[in-house]
Structure 1
Amino acid sequence: MKKLAASFLAVVLLLGILTACGGKSTKETASSEKGGGDGYEDATIRLAYNLPQDHHISVGIEKFAKEVTEKSGGKVKIQVYPAGQLLSDKEMNQSILTGGVEMGLNSSTLWASTVPSMGIFDVPYVFPNYEAAGKALSGEMGDKLRSAMEEKGAKVLLFADYGYAQFVNNKKPLKKPEDFNGLKIRSIGDIPSELIKAYGASPVFMGGGEVYMALQRHTVDGATSGTTAMVQRKYDEVVKYLTINNYAYLEFILAVNKGYWDKLPEKTQKLISDTAAETEQWIREQAKSEDEKTAKELEEKGMEVYVVPENELQAWKDAAKPVYDVFLKQSGELGKELLDLAEHIK
């Protein structure tokens, strides 16, 4: 009887051990399938941006951060600081380059002061449609811009398509370049300032968060931006006229400090790069529909919208010619190469 009891106890213990082992195996498998963090080293990466959180680029960036964290099983944590909580757009680039923040999103326009070739996106009428911009960034142009950024100490993780830039003002409908004469227009960078001057107005540089108050107080007569930001920053409350001429295809750059990037394990680099590529494509798909939706929304909210007819665009392009010379002077041979590449993808 004692032998039988002992044998029974041995069987029970053996089953318990096998069940425990099996449970552990199942748990490990499930964890692995979810991206359990196997092989990833702990890392906490701060990511700052200034756009409103409901902007389509912001939604994409938040999605990117969440997916990297989840795919690494929480090992690679990307902590997001949205809407200027950590850095203003004016402070962002220097902070990325010095390692003050590991990762940040900022406009190509603001990067152009450090990497002049980034001004290509502000040169008027270079990208005639959304498809042309996508082809350029997926090809040789994108490669050349990434290399130029790395030379300065920042690695481009993705190009985020913002959409086309337009003009708003409080004085009158802007139906031809001559209508800009005498106006003060908020600018977003050097090349847009040159365009504003070429059209006869005075550029006033200021960050995105300052524009609403400036328009409200008539510190400026108008501004340039994309309609997506105009909706989110409630321009319809403080400005009357919107002119749609699609003069520049704005990009935002998600960049990481190059020195920090080079020290990350290869597995972590691949995870971030792959997720960034997926996010870039997702954002690109949103740009056109968001432009169309927000332009209509501004009109519905009471803004008077003027769309420059296709057969009148040449006058706008002709008046903008001096801006090309400024861009080439600033960006040199690389700028010329980029303009040539853009010409061939139209």
Structure 2
Amino acid sequence: MSKIRNIVSVLLITAVLAACSSGGESGGEANGSTNEGAAGELITLRLSETQVDDYPDAVAIYEFADRVEELSEGSITIDVYTGGQLGDEVTTIEQTQTGIIDIGRANTGPISQFVDDFGIFSFPFLFDSREHLWNALDSSLRDTLFTSLEEQNLVGLAFYDAGARSFYTMDPVENLDDLRGKSIRVMQNDILIEAFNELGVSPTPLAASEVYSALQTGVVDGGENNINTYVADGHYEVAKNFTTSEHLRIPGLLFMSKQSWDSLSEDQQEIISQAALESEETQMDEFDKYTEESERTAEEAGNNIIELSDSDRAQFRENVQGLYDKYEETYGDMFTEIENAK
């Protein structure tokens, strides 16, 4: 089935690229990027972004593409395909591995399906704050994770902020007891499902596109995500209670096909790397603005924003300690790196 899905994905992406090159705004070559790699040759790379144009990730992606063109004096052009034109995040990862897509951006949750080390972000209450997360990502942890990507034919370029994931529910949740027994939509992530079981929650994996109707019909009692997605996907319209548990911080990742990367000169690789790292700050600034707008939208809709106390967060963390103990052998070194980044 996996082979069939890959073949279908290739055919679909080829069709999209052909359509875009014949009249779409993104341009691009229908049958592979223009990438000669020799001095003086023009290089065109394709980048897949699942978010729409005005979302912080996409805004940062466009600036990254502009900066690459500027630093390369026009010799490297990046055609950006937003809104999932080239497929969802899993498809983007798969096709970047094979070089069909040159550059992709995905949440590190799906990436953990391909690279085990990225499962580190699935542990609830691992990071005390946004500052703690970025201290860790600016430490040796970044090198550890980027090195592990290469085994799956990917090259890490930059991390993007995705805020903190919190619970939103039909009924108010003010503490752990209020959450127990509730059916909560979660990503398809084995570690996360184990963690929610430890909390006494009934984790229900669903595709993102199915969550709104599942909330409406009572299939699930709630979900968990950052407030931007909570508002952007319309879930705030039906689940009126947002509890700031901030139990997960799962960043996004900008990555490149190793095949495409290896075809570039060292100077060209340096340009890509520099522009990507510069885009991190842009993305975080845009994410903060978007978050303020989302919070305002939820409040104006009359939604109940519940601030979870530090003591309640500590209780949540205590309830998943067994999960940390279970995976100590696998992730122990990274746990230590993250603890040292506080």
State the TM-score bracket (shorter-chain normalisation): 0.7 to 0.9
Residue 222 of structure 1, CA deviation: 1.4
Q: Which residue matches 2:102?
A: 102
Q: Which residue matches 2:236?
A: 236
1:39-118 equivalent positions in 2, closer than 5 A: 40-118=40-118
**C-alpha distance in 2 between matches for 1:192 and 1:203:** 9
Alignment-mate amino acid for residue 338 of structure 1: M
Q: Which runs of 5+ in 1 are unaligned?
A: 1-37
With over 3 angstroms needed to count, the CA separation of the structure-2 counterparts of 1:311 and 1:202, relative to structure 1, is: closer
**C-alpha distance in 2 between matches for 1:227 and 1:51:** 15
**C-alpha distance in 1 between matches for 2:42 and 2:97:** 23
Q: Which residue matches 2:176?
A: 177
Say what the alpha-carbon RMSD is for the aligned residues: 2.2
**C-alpha distance in 1 between matches for 2:190 and 2:260:** 29
* Percent identity for Structure 1 against Structure 2: 28
Q: Which runs of 5+ in 2 are unaligned?
A: 1-37
**C-alpha distance in 2 between matches for 1:206 and 1:52:** 21
Alignment-mate amino acid for residue 68 of structure 2: V
For 1:293-338, what per-residue CA distance to the aligned partner results, in whole angstroms no more than 9, with x for missing partners? Answer: 5334322222211110123221111112233245446xx1xx1111
Q: Which residue matches 2:16?
A: none
Q: Which residue matches 1:227?
A: 227
Q: Which residue matches 1:278?
A: 278
User: So what's the TM-score if we normalise by structure 1?
Assistant: 0.81
Q: Which residue matches 2:168?
A: 168
Q: Which residue matches 1:192?
A: 192
User: Which deviates further from its counterpart, 94-103 or 67-76?
Assistant: 67-76
Q: Which residue matches 1:138?
A: 138
Alignment-mate amino acid for residue 196 of structure 1: F
Residue 265 of structure 1, CA deviation: 2.2
For 1:40-85, what per-residue CA distance to the aligned partner results, in whole angstroms no more than 9, with x for missing partners? Answer: 5322211112224322222111221232234434432211111212
- 2:250 partner SS: strand
For 1:260-309, what per-residue CA distance to the aligned partner results, in whole angstroms no more than 9, with x for missing partners? Answer: 21111222211111100101132234545644553343222222111101
Structure with greater helix share of residues: 1
**C-alpha distance in 2 between matches for 1:69 and 1:217:** 49
With over 3 angstroms needed to count, the CA separation of the structure-2 counterparts of 1:112 and 1:261, relative to structure 1, is: same
Residue 177 of structure 1, CA deviation: 2.2
**C-alpha distance in 1 between matches for 2:214 and 2:96:** 28
Q: Which residue matches 2:260?
A: 260
Q: Which residue matches 1:33?
A: none
Determine if contact 1:197/1:203 at 8 Å carries over to the other structure: yes
Aligned: 1:212 with 2:208: no
Determine if contact 1:165/1:225 at 8 Å carries over to the other structure: yes
For 1:93-146, what per-residue CA distance to the aligned partner results, in whole angstroms no more than 9, with x for missing partners? Answer: 222212231111111111112212212222111111121111111111111111
For 1:162-208, what per-residue CA distance to the aligned partner results, in whole angstroms no more than 9, with x for missing partners? Answer: 111111122x1122223233322221233322222222222222343
Q: Which residue matches 1:8?
A: none
- 1:162 partner SS: coil
Q: Which residue matches 2:340?
A: 344
Aligned: 1:148 with 2:140: no
Residue 157 of structure 1, CA deviation: 0.6
**C-alpha distance in 2 between matches for 1:158 and 1:209:** 27
With over 3 angstroms needed to count, the CA separation of the structure-2 counterparts of 1:209 and 1:105, relative to structure 1, is: farther
Determine if contact 2:182/2:221 at 8 Å carries over to the other structure: yes
- 1:163 partner SS: coil
- 2:162 partner SS: strand
Alignment: residue pair count: 304
Determine if contact 2:109/2:122 at 8 Å carries over to the other structure: yes
**C-alpha distance in 2 between matches for 1:282 and 1:47:** 18
User: So what's the TM-score if we normalise by structure 2?
Assistant: 0.82
1:280-299 equivalent positions in 2, closer than 5 A: 280-287=280-287, 290-291=290-291, 293-299=293-299
